[in-house]
Amino acid sequence: MWQKLKTWAKRLKADVWAVALAIQDARTPWPAKAMGALTVAYALSPVDLIPDFIPVLGYVDDLLLLPLGVWLTIKLLPADIMEEYRQKIALEGRPRFKHSKWAAAVIILLWALALWWAGSWAWRWYQNR
């Protein structure tokens, strides 16, 4: 069973990198690009929805959201494109991406907006109870 789980985790990791390449391809439809960008950003983001130091719950988001995002992106991608990038990852390994200050700024902004929204919702709930 552990071997099966390890194999699945390796495949998921390779699929995240394949999706990262596929969303840059001009042949990829925009819904797949949008879902793939969210999934890859979440996978590579140092900020988790639920921090990993919280026992059990810290890994639930990684065990549910990441595979779900990858699966949905793969379903939205044309099969030939996904297979092309899976083969590329298998042959060449993980791609090297340049670090982008703009991408980091966008991710930080999105997290800040999510925290602001959650805080404002909690404040309204607190005021109305």
Per-residue pLDDT, 84: 92
Per-residue pLDDT, 114: 85
Percent of residues, the chain, with pLDDT higher than 70: 88
Rounded CA separation 53/42 (Å) = 17
Residue 88 pLDDT exceeds 70: yes
Rounded CA separation 81/24 (Å) = 11
Residue 18 pLDDT exceeds 80: yes
Rounded CA separation 14/101 (Å) = 25
Per-residue pLDDT, 76: 92
Largest Cα–Cα distance in the chain?
Answer: 58
Segment 71-83 mean pLDDT: 91
Report the chain's mean pLDDT, rounded to a whole number.
82
18 with 86: CB under 8 angstroms? yes
Per-residue pLDDT, 7: 78
Segment 42-64 mean pLDDT: 71
pLDDT band at 103 (very low <50, low <70, confident <90, very high): low
61 with 77: CB under 8 angstroms? no
